[in-house]
């Protein structure tokens, strides 16, 4: 890796941000681009090569199906006195403003502790996020309160679990500085 490669990688990592559907522009993410991004996700580290990450990609008419399911679950799980039409509409709108939404699922192998499967899957999502950022595609990871009710909808096996949805879309947002405290405050050196 050259100094230039390191500087590019450092820039991508430091400028990766959550970009929300309201900022997405009307531009399709091609299936080929999504496969390339998910191939980056697939390069994540994984103990015993369990490769627990599984992805369900919603695009095109699949987005309509997902939006309808999210809205249905909101309505079913919200007492009538607390139901807000605006929230129902926003639940659908976020999905429909996206060029793609990826369900982030874990396939638990039983070969390693569950936390390691979750950590590996989170690494895969970070790879996806960084690759998407480098391609000018914004995204964010969301875990709705009704996530545990989506197993049948997603066709998950008994040893699989959905841990969130990654919303994606091209955008025109400018780079922003990270809102992070100094790394020096998070390091304890053990040198003696």
pLDDT mean over 33-38: 98
The reported pLDDT for the residue numbered 176 is 79
pLDDT for 40-86, tens place per residue? 999 999 999 999 999 999 999 999 999 999 999 999 999 999 999 99
Identify the CA nearest to 101 among candidates 42, 43, 61: 61
Q: Which of 165, 25, 34 is nearest to 95 (CA)?
A: 165
pLDDT value at residue 85: 95
Q: Mind listing the pLDDT tens digit for each residue in 109-135?
A: 999 999 999 999 999 999 999 999 999
Is residue 178 over pLDDT 80? no
Q: Smallest Cα–Cα separation from 167: which of 30, 46, 11, 58?
A: 58
Express as a percent the part of the chain with pLDDT over 90.
93
> Residue 174's pLDDT band (boundaries 50, 70, 90)?
confident
Complete domains list, the chain, with CATH: 19-173 (3.40.109.10)
Question: What is the spatial distance between Cα 34 and Cα 96, in angstroms, rounded to a whole number?
Answer: 17
pLDDT given at position 33: 98
d(CA 34, CA 60) in angstroms, rounded, equals 13
pLDDT of amino acid 52: 98
Structure confidence at residue 175 (pLDDT):
82
pLDDT at position 186: 95
State the pLDDT at residue 177.
74
Q: What is the mean pLDDT of the chain?
A: 96
How confident is the model over 84-111, as pLDDT tens digits? 999 999 999 999 999 999 999 999 999 9
pLDDT top residue among 170 and 180: 170
Grade residue 2 by pLDDT with cuts at 50, 70 and 90: confident
């Amino acid at each position: 890796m050259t100094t230039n490669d390191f500087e590019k990688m450092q820039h991508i990592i430091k400028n990766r941000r959550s970009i929300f559907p309201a900022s997405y522009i009307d531009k399709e993410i091609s299936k080929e681009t999504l496969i390339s991004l998910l191939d980056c996700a697939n390069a994540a580290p994984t103990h015993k090569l369990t490769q627990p990450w599984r992805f369900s990609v919603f695009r095109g008419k699949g987005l309509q199906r997902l939006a309808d399911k999210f809205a249905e679950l909101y309505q079913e799980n919200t007492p009538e006195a607390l139901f807000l039409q605006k929230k129902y509409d926003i639940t659908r709108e976020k999905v429909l403003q996206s060029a793609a939404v990826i369900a982030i699922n874990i396939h638990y192998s039983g070969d390693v502790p569950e936390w390691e499967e979750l950590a590996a899957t989170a690494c895969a999502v970070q790879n996806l996020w960084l690759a998407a950022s480098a391609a000018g595609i914004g995204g964010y990871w969301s875990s709705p309160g009704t996530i545990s009710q989506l197993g049948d909808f997603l066709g998950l096996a008994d040893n699989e679990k959905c841990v969130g949805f990654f919303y994606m879309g091209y955008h025109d947002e400018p780079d922003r500085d990270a809102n992070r405290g100094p790394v020096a405050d998070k390091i304890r050196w053990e040198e003696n």
